[in-house]
Structure 1
Amino acid sequence: MTDLDRLLDFAARSRLPEGGFGYLGDDGRVRPERGQETWIVARMTHVFGLARLTGRGGWDELVRHGVEALAAGPLHDGGRGGWYASTADDTKAAYVHAFAVLAGATATAAGAPGGRELLDEALGVWQTRFWDDTAGLAVEEWDAGWARLSDYRGVNANMHGVEASLAAADALGDADPRAAQLRGQALRTLERVVHGWAREGDWRLPEHFTAEWQPLPGYNRDEPAHPFRPYGVTVGHQFEWSRLALHARAVTPDAPSWLLDDATGLFTAAASRGWAADGHDGFPYTLDWDDRPVVTARMHWVLCEAVAAAETLAAVTGDASYRRLAAHWWAHGEARFADPGTGSWRHELTPEGAVATGTWEGQPDAYHLAQVLLLRGRPVRGSVAAALL
């Protein structure tokens, strides 16, 4: 049994009999007190769709289960449109809607019943409620009735919007005019975020902004370990943006040279400033604006994204040094994060390698680890799903 098979078997335990997927603890049991969360339901649907695309049997039912939950479950607002953040939070956020698009795209690519309908609906909400064509970026969060838009703007949701847009374009196919539109929007966002703010900041990317897209460098200084909006420079996101620039480059005719140049610059800064920044092996969650560690906890997803970005750069450039870095970091992950009892990776560790829970408890997220396992050794396409076809 491969690492991916063990991970998938563990992830399958998240299935809820009433529909959707739940939050898994370290023991592989769903934590019912958390209810359902759209980002988890959508990510699990995406992961099981990827499993189906590898040719593995037995995953069709779980993809269908996820699609049905997103299409008609308690997270879906059938009357007003869109998806609530969770069964306990009725806000409608760009972050979770990006993952609804991604789930629909992968389900479509996998040929799942209802996948195309989910994709069409999610894209409609994304384009009408979140995409700001003037800014070339997505807005952040609405109330349940789409009446009040938050003044906060963030690049985390935009990063996943780029991922989802590229995946949706691949799933729709070039004959659909929306494919070119979505790829163009992804490129515009990358240009503002990576070629703009990241490059201008010497590869220290601000994550938080006002409604007018003015940076807020002190945002969440009093809550630096926030799981989605931490203070400072988020090392894992630097790697993720680097990789997404290369996915966009793969599907952009006459791609501008800055996509590769900036992907390389962003990656190099994250690797050199992040690794062992506090004297311990591994990547701290966040750094301040002078490259000093803020939250020193090690997150599994940060290491996964570092490996995925290194593997993607190796595939694009042919430079073996990236593959050596990927192998070194992967060995560190297998030694520190891998949980032989679950087949997944522990989500958070102290710098010394003990299990920590300052930001994440349990092992709810198979998305980052599944993607890095699937990207290795495959061609660079617009999306992970397209690389499997």
Structure 2
Amino acid sequence: MAPPVPADRPGGAHWLRAETGRLLEFAARSRHPVAGFGWQDDAGAIDPDRPVELWITCRMTHVFALAVLDGYREHAPLLDHGMAGVQAMRDARSGGWHSAVGPAGPVPGTKEAYAHAFVVLAGASATLAGHPAGPALLGDALEVTTGRFLGPDGLVVDTWDEGFTTLDAYRGVNANMHAVEAFLAAADATGDRAWLDRALVIVERIVHGFAAGNSWRLPEHYDEQWQPLLEYNRESPADPFRPYGATIGHGLEWSRLALHLHHALAADAPAWLVDDARRLFDAAVTDGWDADGATGLVYTVDWTGTPVVHERMHWVAAEATATAATLFAVTGEDRYARWYADWWAWIEEHLVDREQGSWRHELDRHNRPSSTVWAGKPDAYHAVQAVVLPRRPLAVSVAGALTRTPLDGT
């Protein structure tokens, strides 16, 4: 799957393997002493002012399932810890999972499709890693997801109150994107084709519909009738979860997920999945890369493609390399190999933190460390996936890829 890059250069097989171990070493320090995983600061210490959050605990549980599958058996206890942490966040009274837990117990909040998609992902990846609690967690999470969040139109609703009694009118594509990721992983873990069919319904509506109808700049926010809210959060454009405008990293991520789905559906895959993946990638690169006089991919653009939030997010760069690698695997086109090599070189120069560990999570428009949107280094999900995917053949899910023979022979 990996484009041809010298093994010891950024993005090459040996470099990726070494970077995987380095990222996992930093991530291991996120283990919360009570349950789950905490929010890490720039040096790797857990932020004591933040509760344990469901989305981070599930993403890190997924990461340590990937670690186990990748041969890092020393991190198996962290997978155990993550699985216990997810279980500890169950809401025994109302169902689903609490969004956060503090020293005094559950933190009052909401039930979000976004976080619950990561419960599915954690359960699926743990199942593929052979964890004994994986299948039960996956089954429970899928039941909650289909029962509470999957609407009759096949799209995922966004936010319930704590008791699953009142549904917010907001609809968003971020939760749907991670539902697609979760359904792909569920299909890999269970062998059930139905999860691929559900993923295809979402991708067809959002990518082949909403993105294609808006010059491949995907509207993120909608009302309850799925009418786009193009001016949503114009006054707070740098929101970490609901930013104004088109999010460059999501265009890339949707592109990659469409390719995984195309691979999963095999002979039944519609041809437009690859065509749309190309167009999403091209729009993201055209609008996002080197858009303001400095290298890097900006966070968001408006509906003309003009940058709005200029900060460079580590996760956007991670998704860029992973998508370029996947497009190269599917098409064999040299241009994707060139982007892949260029972006890994940029990541090594600007994001990789050789002093404190992991990657700098955010840079400003001059590629200097920043914290406008994100403070600290809260999780390793995007970065670890980026260093894992190019080392294995294209598969249905990231965890599934790690059950295949490494391309680098290690």
1:93 corresponds to: 112
1:251 aligned counterpart, secondary structure: helix
1:118 aligned residue (129, 137, 145): 137
Name 1:79's counterpart in structure 2: 93
1:67 is aligned to 83
Residue by residue over 1:26-81, the C-alpha shift from the partner in whole angstroms, topping out at 9 and shown as x without a partner, is: 0110001111110100000000000100122212111111111111x1x3202221
Inter-partner Cα distance in structure 1 for 2:330 and 2:339: 15
Distance 1:267 1:374 in 2: 20
Alignment of 1:300 onto 2:353: no
Shift of 1:323: 1.1
Helix, strand or coil: the match of 1:313? helix
Q: What residue number does 2:349 align with?
A: 335
- The AA in structure 2 aligned to 1:199 is A
Instruction: Say which SS state the counterpart of residue 268 (structure 2) adopts.
Output: coil
Give the conservation status (yes or no) of the 8 Å contact 2:311–2:363: yes
2:193 to 180, 191, 206: 180
The alignment status of 1:40 with 2:56, answered yes or no, reads yes
1-structure distance, mates of 2:190, 2:108: 31
CA shift, 1:89, in A, is 4.3
Partner residue of 2:66 out of 23, 30, 50: 50
Which residues of 2 match residues 248-267 of structure 1 at below 5 A? 248-252=261-265, 253-267=267-281
CA distance in structure 2 between the partners assigned to 1:128 and 1:96 by the alignment: 15
Higher relative contact order (CA 8 A, sep 6+): 2
Q: Which amino acid aligns with 1:60?
A: A
Change (3 A) 1:284 1:209: same
Pair 355,89 (structure 1): closer, same or farther in 2 beyond 3 Å: farther
Instruction: Tell whether the 8 Å contact from 2:108 to 2:162 is kept in structure 1 after alignment.
Output: no
Instruction: Indicate if the aligned counterparts of 1:7 and 1:342 stay in contact, CA closer than 8 A.
Output: no
CA distance in structure 1 between the aligned counterparts of 2:49 and 2:253, rounded to whole angstroms: 31
> In the alignment, does 2:25 pair up with 1:21?
no
Assess if the C-alpha contact under 8 Å between 2:161 and 2:167 holds in 1.
yes
Distance 1:158 1:341 in 2: 37
Q: Does 1:127 align with 2:146?
A: yes
Q: Which of 207, 215, 219 lines up with 1:202 in the alignment?
A: 215
Q: Write the distance in 2 (CA, Å) between the matches of 1:171 and 1:53.
A: 13
Where in structure 1 do 4 or more consecutive aligned residues deviate above 4 Å? none
Unmatched runs of 5 consecutive residues or more in structure 1: 174-178
What percent identity do the matched residue pairs reach?
52
User: Which runs of structure 2 are paired with 1:264-279 in the superposition (5 Å)?
Assistant: 264-279=278-293
Picking from 359, 376, 380, the partner of 1:345 is: 359
Cα distance in structure 1, aligned partners of 2:319 and 2:392: 16
5+ long unaligned stretches in structure 2: 1-16, 102-106, 404-410
Q: TM-score of the superposition, structure 1-length normalised?
A: 0.96
RMSD of equivalent CA atoms = 1.0
Which of residues 156, 167, 172 is equivalent to 1:149?
167
The 2-side partners of 1:77 and 1:275 are apart by 43
Displacement of 1:351: 1.4
The number of equivalent residue pairs is 381
SS of aligned partner of 2:399? helix
For 2:108 and 2:242, how far apart are their aligned partners in 1?
Answer: 17
Q: Determine the structure 1 residue equivalent to 2:384.
A: 370
Partner of 1:106: 125
Would you say 1:170 and 2:188 are equivalent positions?
yes
Measured in 1, the distance between the counterparts of 2:273 and 2:356 equals 38
Q: Check conservation: 2:64, 2:79, Cα contact below 8 A.
A: yes
CA contact (8 A) 1:60 1:112 kept: no
Structure-1 residue corresponding to 2:4: none
Counterpart amino acid of residue 154 in structure 2? G
The answer to whether the Cα contact below 8 Å between 1:68 and 1:114 also exists between their aligned partners in 2 is no
Deviations 1:71-109 (A, max 9, x none): 1x1x32022211122233420000000000000000010
The equivalent residue for 2:247 is 234
The CA deviation at 1:341 is 2.2
Specify the SS of the correspondent of 2:243. coil
Cα deviation, residue 212, structure 1 = 0.5
The residue identity in structure 1 corresponding to 2:48 is: P
Q: Of 372, 380, 383, which aligns to 2:397? A: 383
